[in-house]
Chain A
């Protein structure tokens, strides 16, 4: 299997730059500060709590993990958002497009470079992450689950970044657009639920039930459809992950039980069973990421976009 030349080149170029050294340094520094801050809080709390200090130390794991994921979530789109627009600004993009590389290979090369870089940061932070395991009580497999989640979210963030990079001419606008996409996934998936809940409350107030329909004898609520949007919410994904890992409980189950959503029939019952929420959510994130990559590849291809249409119209002579 041949290594994508873009990964080879980009990693080589980046590794020679001092930027990467400073990047790793800043990443480690932030983690170290968070670690000491968390230690301080845990220590303070243990003085006023009956809990053992050592039992509280396991909470370093989600704190450090979330810190890392937030940093990665912020830097990965920046790296990829400037990937294509940066090549255009550097005027190397046209040359790249005249080579035998397909647009999708170019896009994948840029995304993989961002992932390699984020994994470099995560790997470099292992000694700090490992500190939350030294007192015991947690399986080492949690560390590898964290790596898998970091990989998935980096891939998702990179795909958003690269799509924006293909849409914008300038890197700065691509970065802004990428954070706009973030907002859609973070807030846009929650907003319909809040609206529906508000409308539901209003409907109850006027003693009608417009949010529920009956189909084939099954009572089916629109509420659950909107709840399924949370499958694409990265915050929900992380919270569910850490609840599962740390407490062995499911936040999704708790919410659906509390709101009574599971009392209705439909796909919600399937995804709230066992680990299905995590599995479906993971598959959806991967699918959306590939959709973004495909769109980006389609976007950067200057010729194929309309070639078929032209050929169909027969105006090529």
Chain B
């Protein structure tokens, strides 16, 4: 679907994007994560043909973005972080205007526009002037507008910025709905928890570099490791530690008051057997689970340890809760 190879963008001596290579398969909901100035918007603008890369290739379904603008424009639907509206233009006229810009016939526009407005829950606003809509409604209308020509790829740049919690939930539902319809979606956002709920794959950018990318589970596993186990217990900690250490391939990494963290190379059956053995030796095991990180912790781990930056992302994460 979307293939980016060795992409660079320079502003004089400053490199906004450095050697970015990425593949997003058909039907993915891809989350683009990164602090301010990481190069997300620059990359998105280059993908949409709004900015010329300094070097590198971008192809959508094998078609080069740089040299085949006409074909590419039919394949992309773009939703910017903020979009202005024209005064004195109604919702259906707004859709008609953008449909005409894709050289669609008026009947076709009307039919598709009706379906899209229903999808974004704005059917009852057809005759309403766009500038009177709420920000959330405008953003949903912008998504409908971006879909008018049935693009293969939908690109959204910070679609949730400035939206209230209800509008964010509606936007999330809309995007999940579009994903279920098979659309490939690229979304950049600061709101990490929302992305982790929506996206099946992510790319984390920092200082112009793509520091991690892939399916969320794979990225998490590669960062946190898939072989970490946390056992919580009430009694018999010493016995539990002895049993754990008796198993080859198990290494206790930390011991808490009621918690043991260990890394292992065991299979699921062997883990079950080890836990069973602990219980049989009167260890009161109250639970065990694989250690899982959140997108926030993943982000903090793979991006720069700049304190200011961390603070910014934490604030963004907090503002979401």
A interface list, Cβ under 8 A from B? 2, 5, 8-9, 12-13, 16-17, 89-92, 94-101, 302-307, 310-311, 315-317
Contact B52 A12 (CB under 8 A): no
CA distance A25 to B6 in the complex (A): 59
Instruction: Check A98/B84 contact, CB under 8 A, given A5-B100, A12-B89, A12-B93.
Output: no
Q: Is B103's CB under 8 angstroms from A2's CB?
A: yes
11 contacts across the A-B interface (CB closer than 8 A): A8-B97, A9-B86, A9-B89, A12-B88, A13-B86, A92-B85, A97-B49, A97-B50, A100-B103, A315-B55, A316-B55
CA–CA, A316 to B183, complex, Å?
27
Instruction: Judge whether B98 is part of the interface by a CB distance below 8 angstroms.
Output: yes
Residues of B within 8 A of A9 (CB): 86, 89, 93, 97
Q: Is there contact, CB below 8 Å, between A317 and B73? A: no
Chain A neighbourhood of B5, CB < 8 A: 317
Given contacts A94-B50, A99-B102, A317-B57, contact A304 B93 (CB under 8 A): no
Q: What CA separation (Å) do A306 and B93 show in the bound complex?
A: 35
Count of chain B residues with a beta carbon within 8 Å of a chain A beta carbon: 42
When chains A and B are docked, how far (Å) is the Cα of A311 from the Cα of B100?
32
8 tightest A-B CB contacts, nearest first? A90-B84, A5-B100, A16-B88, A99-B101, A317-B57, A91-B84, A98-B78, A315-B55
CB distance from B245 to the nearest CB of A (A): 52
Whether the Cβ atoms of B80 and A95 lie closer than 8 Å is yes
Stretch of B30-38, B62-70, B296-304, B311-319 lying at the A interface: B62-70
- CB pair B86 A92 closer than 8 Å: yes
Minimum distance in angstroms from A98 CB to a CB of chain B: 4
Q: Is the CB of B55 within 8 A of A100?
A: no
Is B14's beta carbon under 8 Å from chain A? no
Which A residues lie within 8 Å of B76 (CB)? 98
Contact A8–B100 (Cβ < 8 Å): yes
A307 and B86 contact, CB distance less than 8 A? no
Closest chain A residue to B48 by CB distance?
A: A98
Q: Shortest beta-carbon distance, A19 to chain B, in Å?
A: 10
CA distance A315 to B244 in the complex (A): 56
Cβ of B74 within 8 Å of any chain A Cβ, yes or no, is yes
B76 to chain A, nearest CB (A): 6
**In whole angstroms, how far apart are the Cα atoms of A315 and B53 in the complex?**
10
Residues of B whose CB lies within 8 Å of any CB of A are: 5-6, 45, 48-53, 55-57, 64-67, 69-70, 73-74, 76-78, 80, 82-89, 93, 97-98, 100-103, 142, 145, 149
Q: Is the CB of B66 within 8 A of A311?
A: yes
Instruction: Say whether, besides A8-B100, A9-B89, A304 and B6 are in contact (CB < 8 Å).
Output: no
CB contacts (< 8 Å) of B86 on chain A: these are: 9, 13, 90, 92
Interface pair B6/A317, CB less than 8 Å apart:
yes
Contact B80 A91 (CB under 8 A): yes
A17 to B82, CA, bound (A): 24
A14 to chain B, nearest CB (A): 8
Scoring A9, A12, A98, A310 by chain B CB atoms within 10 A of each residue's CB, the highest score goes to: A98
Given contacts A8-B100, A100-B102, contact A303 B78 (CB under 8 A): no
Q: Report the nearest A residue to B49, measured CB to CB.
A: A303
Please name all residues of chain B whose beta carbon is closer than 8 Å to the beta carbon of A310 when the two chains form the complex. 52-53, 55, 66
Q: Shortest Cβ distance from A267 into chain B, in angstroms?
A: 42
CB neighbours of A316 from chain B (8 A): 55-57, 64, 66
Q: How far is it, in angstroms, between the C-alpha of A315 and the C-alpha of B19 when the chains are bound?
A: 12
**Inter-chain contacts of B55 with A (CB < 8 A):** 310, 315-317
Tell which of B6, B56, B67 has the most Cβ of chain A within 10 Å.
B67
Contacts of A16 in B (CB 8 A): 88
Chain A contacts of B45 at CB under 8 A? 94
In the assembled complex, the CB of B154 is this many whole angstroms from the nearest CB of chain A, namely: 11
For B80, what are the chain A residues with a Cβ–Cβ distance below 8 Å?
91, 94-95
> In the bound complex, how far is the Cα of B21 from the Cα of A297, in angstroms?
31
Complex CA–CA separation, A194 to B52 (angstroms): 46
* Most chain A CB neighbours (cut-off 10 Å) among B50, B86, B101: B101
Q: Determine how close the nearest CB of chain A comes to the CB of B187; give it in whole angstroms.
A: 16
Which residues in A have their C-beta under 8 angstroms from that of B97?
5, 8-9
Closest A residue to B101 using CB positions: A99
Bound Cα distance from A304 to B87, whole angstroms: 31
List of B residues within 8 angstroms of A98 by Cβ: 48-50, 73, 76-78
B83 and A95 within 8 A (CB) = yes
Q: How far is the CA of A316 from the CA of B8 in the complex (A)?
A: 10
Q: What is the chain B residue whose CB lies nearest that of A9? A: B97
User: In the complex, how many angstroms separate the beta carbon of B140 from the nearest chain A beta carbon?
Assistant: 15
Whether A13 contacts B49 in the complex (CB less than 8 A), given A310-B66, A316-B66, comes out as no
With A13-B86, A100-B101 known, 16 other A-B pairs at CB within 8 A are A2-B103, A9-B93, A12-B88, A13-B87, A16-B88, A94-B48, A94-B80, A95-B80, A96-B101, A98-B50, A98-B76, A100-B70, A100-B102, A303-B50, A310-B52, A310-B55
